[in-house]
Amino acid sequence: MAANSVLAPFRSGRHDHGHCIEDALKAAETVCRDRGLRLTELRRQVLEMVWTEHRPVRAYDLLDRLRETRGRAAPPTIYRALDFLRDQGLVHRIESLNAYIGCGSPLSQHSGQFLICRECSAVAELDDPAIEKLIKKRANDAGFQVVGQTIEITGLCPQCSGGDESSSPGSENALSEHA
């Protein structure tokens, strides 16, 4: 069960996963405290679940997991938590997958730019300012005032495109198989 999906640009091996979950939760606490908002147990738990997966997770999968610890829970519960976390920039929604993923840099507001592997569902968050700027410029040239950018690139991650065979790619099609 090698976690070969990462958030910062694809790294060859694994990383300290527990550490990055912790960081995300800490950042969330900071963000909420600074903004006078409540990181309730539910919200905290959902954020932790998102980060535990560490790849795009679907709302109903989160819901199933929530039920394991919390008994009955209905769709609005998970969507409300996700909406809160999204509003605060703590998670992103991947439109092309109808799925959610933890934000790699929650302290700065941004729309997110994602590289999504077709084979293994690994996702990297780019957040390249040059891309954002160029798009903004071209939009402005057309008289368009930019509010948000959805940038989702599909393709093959380093592991799955063949260069790196060290960590069993392909076999792990995660978005649908984390029963």
Q: Which of 8, 79, 96, 166 binds DNA (CB under 7 A)?
A: 79
Nearest distance from C-beta of residue 2 to a second copy, angstroms: 17
**Residues found near a second copy in the complex (CB under 8 A):** 9-10, 95-96, 113, 115, 117-118, 124, 126, 128, 130-131, 134-135, 138-139, 142-158, 161, 163
In whole angstroms, give the CA distance from residue 147 to residue 163. Answer: 38
35 binds DNA (CB under 7 A): no
Distance CA 69, CA 166 (A): 36
Give the max Cα distance, the chain: 53
Nearer to DNA, 7 or 175 (CB): 175
Asked if 99 contacts 175 with a C-beta cutoff of 8 angstroms, the reply is: yes
Half-sphere exposure of 152 (CA within 13 A, CB side): 18
Which one of the spans 10-18, 34-42, 139-147, 154-162 is the region binding DNA (CB under 7 A)? 34-42
Instruction: Establish if 92 lies at the interface with DNA (CB under 7 A).
Output: no
Residue 107 touches which member of a second copy, DNA, none, C-beta under 5-8 Å by kind: none
Q: How far is the CB of 66 from DNA (least distance, A)?
A: 8
Rounded to whole angstroms, the Cα distance separating 10 from 114 reads 11
Site string for DNA, 56-75 (x = CB under 7 A): --xxxx--------xxxxxx
| Minimum separation from the CB atom of position 7 to a second copy (A) | 12
Distance (Å, whole) CA 48 – CA 30: 15
Classify each residue of 69-81 as buried b or exposed e, where b means 16 or more C-beta atoms within 10 Å of its C-beta: eeeebeeebbeeb
